[in-house]
Amino acid sequence: KAGVTQTPRYLIKTRGQQVTLSCSPISGHRSVSWYQQTPGQGLQFLFEYFSETQRNKGNFPGRFSGRQFSNSRSEMNVSTLELGDSALYLCASSHYTANTEAFFGQGTRLTVV
């Protein structure tokens, strides 16, 4: 069974640009969440999607957005990139139920220069 797939693995962007990251969840998983990991803030929740609807949202500015497609695949977008957006972005998928484990992808390392 394939795991969570994130593309691309590495990305370098310039300040002011926008970026789109992609996540394919484990087959059968319908819930997808996104997290940002930085040395200073640790792992921070961005948002959670289920059935193409955003279910939860973390404390990030509106420049961070996401969506989920009917096949459960998800994308997140960051507009007007800032140097501080440099981070490892992680996608996690889980079953549609509470008290279940989330499985993470390998992440996308975004560097903003």
One-letter amino acid for residue 112 of the chain: V
Query: SS3 of 90, please?
Result: strand
Which lies closer to another protein via its Cβ, residue 6 or residue 19? 6
CB of 48 to another protein, least distance (A): 6
Smallest separation, CB 108 to another protein (Å): 10
Considering the complex, what minimum distance in angstroms separates the CB of residue 71 from another protein? 18
Pairing of strands 108-112, 10-13: parallel
Residue 48 or 85: the one with the smaller Cβ distance to another protein is 48
Nearer to another protein by Cβ, of 81 and 92: the residue is 92
* 100 Cβ neighbours under 8 A, 6+ residues apart: 94
Strands 53-57 and 42-50: antiparallel
Sole residue written with tokens 């394939």: 2
Task: Tell the smallest beta-carbon distance from residue 16 to another protein (Å).
Answer: 27
Task: Report the residue number, 16 or 60, with the smaller CB distance to another protein.
Answer: 60
Distances (CA, A) of 5 to 15, 21, 32, 80, 110: 26, 11, 12, 25, 16
> Which stretches of the chain bind another protein, using CB under 8 A?
4, 6, 31, 33, 35, 42-43, 45, 48, 50, 55-56, 58, 90, 92, 94, 96-107, 109
